[in-house]
């Protein structure tokens, strides 16, 4: 008899049941500064880049930071110049546990959900953990020691760095989100 492994088990919740359907998107020819303004206004960390419903890329905070480190003036830079084009996607019929494993394997926190090559939703690790916190054990990454004391937690709360509501970690006695944890 095969031993039950919680990391290979399906949980019966489909990606399509958890994904965000009203995701925020923009086009390839959008200027980066306009995309940044949209991200700030909507309080999101990434944008789906589409053309006629088809996925063309993702623009993340990391892409923007990389561009800022290379080019000091982004006023004439378009999203297509800096967005990530090689995208890992998932189908809405996939089990959420498969999405978590794919995110961990690919070192991603977000997955566009596609059907017949069209983007129909967006799935984030935060969305999954809201529905199924037990998947945290599969999702958690190996933390490198950086000289800081980082305690793992699945607690949701207000980040003391950026003041956003998110999953928070205790770092040096402060509760901070993943982004602020990486920046400190």
Mean pLDDT of 131-153: 51
Q: Residue 57: pLDDT band by 50, 70, 90 thresholds?
A: very high
pLDDT in tens, 10-28: 667 899 999 999 999 999 9
Per-residue pLDDT at 113 exceeds 60: yes
Give yes or no for a contact between 28 and 49, defined as CB atoms under 8 angstroms apart: yes
Report which DSSP code applies to 144. P
Q: Residue 53: pLDDT band by 50, 70, 90 thresholds?
A: confident
Return d(Cα 101, Cα 135) in angstroms, integer. Answer: 10
Per-residue pLDDT at 125 exceeds 70: yes
Top-confidence residue, 180 or 34: 34
Domains of the chain (ranges; CATH) run 15-131 (3.10.580.10), 145-183 (no CATH)
Q: b/e per residue, 156-168, with b = 16+ CB within 10 A?
A: eeebebeeeebbb
pTM confidence score: 0.65
Torsion sign over Cα 88, 74, 31, 164: positive
Which pair of structure tokens corresponds to residue 4? Answer: 């039950």
Mean pLDDT of 144-153: 46
DSSP 43-79: T-SEEEEEETTEEEEEEEHHHHHHHHHH-S--TT-BH
């Amino acid at each position: 008899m095969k031993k039950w492994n919680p990391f290979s088990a399906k949980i019966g919740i489909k990606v399509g049941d958890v994904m965000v359907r009203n995701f925020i998107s923009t086009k390839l020819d959008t200027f980066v500064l306009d995309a940044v303004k949209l991200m700030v206004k909507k309080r999101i960390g990434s944008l789906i880049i589409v053309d006629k419903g088809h996925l063309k890329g993702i623009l993340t905070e990391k892409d923007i930071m990389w561009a800022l480190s290379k080019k000091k003036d982004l006023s004439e830079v378009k999203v297509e110049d800096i967005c990530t084009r090689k995208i890992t996607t998932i189908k809405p019929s996939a089990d959420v546990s498969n999405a978590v494993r794919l995110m961990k394997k690919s070192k991603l926190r977000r997955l566009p959900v596609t059907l017949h090559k069209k983007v129909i939703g967006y799935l984030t690790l935060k969305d999954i953990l809201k529905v199924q916190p037990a998947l945290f054990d599969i999702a958690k990454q190996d933390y490198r020691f950086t000289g800081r004391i980082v305690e793992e937690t699945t607690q949701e709360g207000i980040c003391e760095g950026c003041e956003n509501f998110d999953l928070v970690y205790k770092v040096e006695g402060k509760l901070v989100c993943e982004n602020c944890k990486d920046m400190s």
